[in-house]
Amino acid sequence: MRDSKLIDRKINSLYVHIPFCEHICFYCDFVKVKKPQDPKVIEKYLDKIEIELEAYGNKLEFIESIYIGGGTPSCLNEQQTIRMCEILSKYTNKENFEYSIELNPESVTREKLEIYKKFNINRISMGVQTFDNELLKKIGRIHDNSIAINAYKLIRQVGFTNVSIDLMYNLYDQSRENIYTDLRYIDELKPDHISWYSLIMKEKSVWGRKNMKVPENDELYDEIVNNGLKQLGYIRYEISNYALGEKNKSFHNISYWNNSIFAGVGIGATGFEQIEGKYFLTKNEGNILNYQKEFEELSQEDYYFQIVMMGLRLVEGIDISLDINKEIYNFYQKKINEKISQNLLEIVNNRLRCTERGFNILNEILIDFL
Ligand SMILES: C[S@@+](CC[C@H](N)C(=O)[O-])C[C@H]1O[C@@H](n2cnc3c(N)ncnc32)[C@H](O)[C@@H]1O
Ligand code: SF4
């Protein structure tokens, strides 16, 4: 099907999932468990990741980025952090390699930061969510804003020059003033990159199980976030991602959105791989010490839809001069033209992208492509 080339596309990037958390936040349904008391469980988990990576053989030879996400990668102790970095070190010794790790403010220490640095991690993403202390408690976080600011300053002191902060809006009873306050902190700290997500109420989160709903102020808050960051000099390049300069855009995440091939290791991790010309979504299912990779083959239509769904998240959209994207354009031409006539999509410089209006209702647009 799909790709007639005999040689499968190479894996471009690797995601590594560390599922342990010191605490469980009320909004979160990512794959995670409370950090086990017994350190051996984490050690065994790391052994399992090593075995999983080895099973890829030389297929990971050409990766250009690694993203260690969670869960909370920074909740590993120093010895476990070194073990994790050692396992990954055989893939990272390259020029222009983007190597990111997610940290939670409360578990950032100078010692761990120095280990990350020694092993060539060059991008830090710290989950702050909000700088409002009351709100932090209400969403189930265990840090306060002074812990986050001190962790940020420590990250800079240790010499990291590519630092991202995660924030959320539409949280609980978050007010406009809360968002303006977050913007003032951003102005003061100047992270190189920001991911600012609108809350998605997840059924399996603590809030979802209580049937809580997202507050109804969505569009207004979108505007405050987007205009506020624009005024501070951030370039929006994806629906929820903003960079201070071109070089601060997340290469790893852009590669997901641009239809690249990626592997995911660790419980719950997903991947997108090509095997003997066929495309598969992969997901590691099971429990932390006993999970297996499951493969779901994509039909041609699923594959096209995936490219559209991911690509339209990017402000610059999908490059329709590429062969595969031309195919997609032809396949969806009628729908695309309909959306263009409704001023929801546009084609500019050979790129199919959302208009400003379309960007606000991307999910509704995508439903019509299904
Ligand atoms: C799953 S967390 C992992 C990183 C780290 N443990 C932390 O809490 O920052 C990654 C990011 O996803 C975002 N996130 C998690 N649950 C979300 C939800 N229900 N809606 C929107 N964003 C969410 C948060 O901004 C969080 O920083
Ligand atoms: S948001 Fe981060 S720290 Fe909180 S439960 Fe989810 S993964 Fe763990």
DSSP line for 31-100? S-EEPPSSHHHHHHHHHHHHHHHHTTGGGGTT--EEEEEES-GGGS-HHHHHHHHHHHHHHH-STT-EEE
Name the pLDDT band for 94 (thresholds 50, 70, 90).
Answer: confident
Range of the structural domain that residue 326 is part of:
318-370
* Residue 27: band (very low, low, confident or very high) from pLDDT cuts 50, 70, 90: very high
Are 221 and 358 within one domain? no
Atom of ligand 1 nearest to the CA of 168: 25
Q: Tell whether 183 is covered by a domain.
A: yes
Is residue 263 included in any domain, yes or no? no
Predicted confidence (pLDDT) per residue in 116-166, tens digit: 999 999 999 999 999 999 999 999 999 999 999 999 999 999 999 999 999
* In a shared domain, residues 74 and 168: yes
Interstrand relation of 351-354 and 318-319 (parallel, antiparallel or unpaired): antiparallel
Residue 311 within any structural domain of the chain: no
- Cα(129) to centroid(ligand 1), Å: 8
Per-residue CA distances from 90 to 3, 48, 82, 113 (Å): 30, 16, 13, 20
- Do 249 and 326 reside in the same domain of the chain? no
Is pLDDT at 4 greater than 50 in this prediction?
Answer: no
Atom of ligand 2 at shortest distance to CA of 140?
Answer: 4
pLDDT > 60? residue 2: no
Give the residue from 210, 235, 256 where a domain finishes: 256
Task: Extract the tokens encoding 163.
Answer: 């630092």
Three-state SS at 344:
coil
Please give the pLDDT value at position 7. Answer: 81
pLDDT in tens, 57-90: 999 999 999 999 999 999 999 999 999 999 999 9
> Are 31 and 71 a contacting pair, CB within 8 Å?
yes
Show the 3-state SS of 229-295.
HHHCCCEEEECCEEECCHHHCCHHHHHHHCCCCEEEECCCCEEEEEECCEEEEEEEEEECCEEEEEE
Round the average pLDDT of the chain to a whole number and report it: 94
Whether residue 288 lies inside any domain: the answer is no
Picking from 210, 239, 217, 214, the residue whose alpha carbon sits closest to that of residue 226 is 239
Which ligand 2 atom lies nearest to the CA of residue 141?
Answer: 4
Chain mean position to CA 171: 19
Is 366 part of a structural domain of the chain? Answer: yes
Closest CA to 351 of 305, 288, 297, 308: 308
Q: How confident is the model at residue 370 (pLDDT cuts 50, 70, 90)?
A: confident
Confidence at 102, pLDDT banded by 50, 70, 90 = very high
Of the three residues 205, 226, 256, the one that is the final residue of a domain is 256
User: pLDDT-based confidence at 6, cuts 50/70/90?
Assistant: low
Nearest atom of ligand 2 to the alpha carbon of 70 = 7
Ramachandran region, residue 74 (left: φ > 0; alpha: ψ -120 to 50; beta: rest): alpha
Q: What share of the chain is helix, strand, coil (3-state, %, to 5)?
A: 40, 25, 35
* Domain assignment of residue 303, yes or no: no
Mutate to test the pocket of ligand 2, among 29, 31, 32, 199 (most ligand atoms within 8 A of CB): 32
For residue 289, being part of any structural domain is answered with: no
For the stretch 224-274, pLDDT in tens is: 999 999 999 999 999 999 999 999 999 999 999 999 999 999 999 999 999
Domain count, the chain: 2
Whether residue 123 sits in one domain with residue 27: yes
- Asked which of 229, 256, 283 is the last residue of a domain, the reply is 256
Nearest ligand to the CA of 165 is 1
pLDDT of residue 26: 96
- The predicted pLDDT at position 215 comes to 78
The predicted-structure confidence for 276-292, as pLDDT tens digits, reads as follows 999 999 999 999 999 99
Residue ranges lining ligand 2, Cβ < 6 Å: 21, 24-25, 28, 30, 32, 70-72, 104, 127
324 and 232 together in one domain: no
Atom of ligand 2 nearest to the CA of 127: 2
Counting Cβ atoms within 10 Å, is residue 337 exposed (0-12), middle (13-18) or buried (19+)? exposed
How does pLDDT run across 166-189, given as a tens digit for each residue? Answer: 999 998 888 899 999 999 999 999
Q: Which ligand is nearest to the CA of 108?
A: 1
Task: Indicate whether 144 belongs to any domain.
Answer: yes
Protein residues with CB under 6 Å of any ligand 1 atom = 27-28, 30, 69-72, 102, 104, 127, 129, 166, 168, 197, 199-200, 202
pLDDT the model gives residue 217: 66
